[in-house]
Amino acid sequence: MKHISPFPLTAPQPQKLAELRQSFEEWNSEPGILNRLVRRLSATLKLDAQLTMLAEEMVQVIPFDAFQYRHQLGRQEFMFTTGMGGPHRCEFRLNLEGENFGTLTLHRRKRFSNDELQAVEMLIGAAICALRNACHFSAMEQASLTDALTGIGNKRAMEEALQKAQMLTGRHNETYSLILCDLDHFKAVNDTCGHVVGDLVLKRVTEALESAVRSSDSVYRFGGEEFAVLLPHTDQNDAVDVAERVRSAIEALRIDCEEHSVAVTTSCGVALHRAGEGSGQWLARADEALYRAKDQGRNCTRVFATIS
């Protein structure tokens, strides 16, 4: 079958090409703030970088003391702030085609004039498409690091967090501990009550985990019934206390399954990060401690044995 192009093929038109080239050069060299802002924003899809650029361009036109942006990206609230606030503020909800992309708030000591408010709207209008793209990109990045069932970080997110913690430990001598949790005999729950109940158990376990740790700690699901908790600024003894709190919270769960309730327990392995070791070695030591907890009766916490 012969392919017919929907566009007629014509010879190049030198005049049109010259006009396009001139137009591009004028647009690229135009000193206007809106053109400059759009060009800067188009260079990145990182939301915090775009907001930094927007704040830099905006303050040249509308002086302010503080620039704040908030938006809910999936399960996480994203917040960007620069400067210190004043008693007067103006707030703008960013919307495009019926979709919300956060709230931008400016603070300063002096009241904003109507002309200044209109200028802010013009700058937001120039930036909104780029901000929308950055929000979508951030949401996709977050989705790739999130466990679909429980909504917490997945194995990839855990591995990235461990690598970051390893670098911080090396650079700033920060203390990190890792807890691995594995639900005991979880296969029996699926076999007896079905996967729907099994999924419900995993969700309830996640809730118990998150309620038993601090807001600064991070919880991950890195296997079927395997979870991890990363604890910054936490030594081995404190990590054991957290692991025991987690174990007790899970042991207290009761999930309805037709005529009876389901109870689960968990085994925990704890390992303190050692100076100079890689994240893989750290994870392997926590896994060894977890194996000993399983081997020594389950529903208990064990620490990786340190050879002195």
Could you say which of 225, 226, 251, 258 is catalytic?
A: 225
- Judge whether 159 counts as a catalytic residue: no
Is residue 178 within 8 A of residue 283, CB to CB? The reply is yes
Angle at alpha carbon of residue 210, lines to 208 and 214, rounded to 5°: 130
Q: Over the Cα atoms of the chain, what is R_g?
A: 27
Handedness of CA 92, 62, 25, 42 (dihedral sign): negative
Q: How far is CA 48 from CA 75, 77, 83, in A?
A: 18, 13, 15
Is residue 271 within 8 A of residue 285, CB to CB? The reply is yes
d(CA 121, CA 94): 10
Residues 6+ apart with CB under 8 A from 11: none
List own/partner pairs for 257-264 with CB under 8 A and 24 or more apart. Answer: 257/192, 257/193, 257/197, 258/193, 262/189, 262/193, 262/197, 262/201, 264/183, 264/184, 264/186, 264/189, 264/201, 264/205
**Total Cβ atoms within 10 A of residue 3:** 4
Is residue 113 within 8 A of residue 91, CB to CB? The reply is no
The DSSP annotation for 237-283 comes to HHHHHHHHHHHHHHHT--EEETTEEE---EEEEEEEPPTT--HHHHH
User: 110 in helix, strand or coil?
Assistant: coil
DSSP β-ladder status, 255-257 and 260-262: antiparallel
- Please give the positions annotated as active site: 225
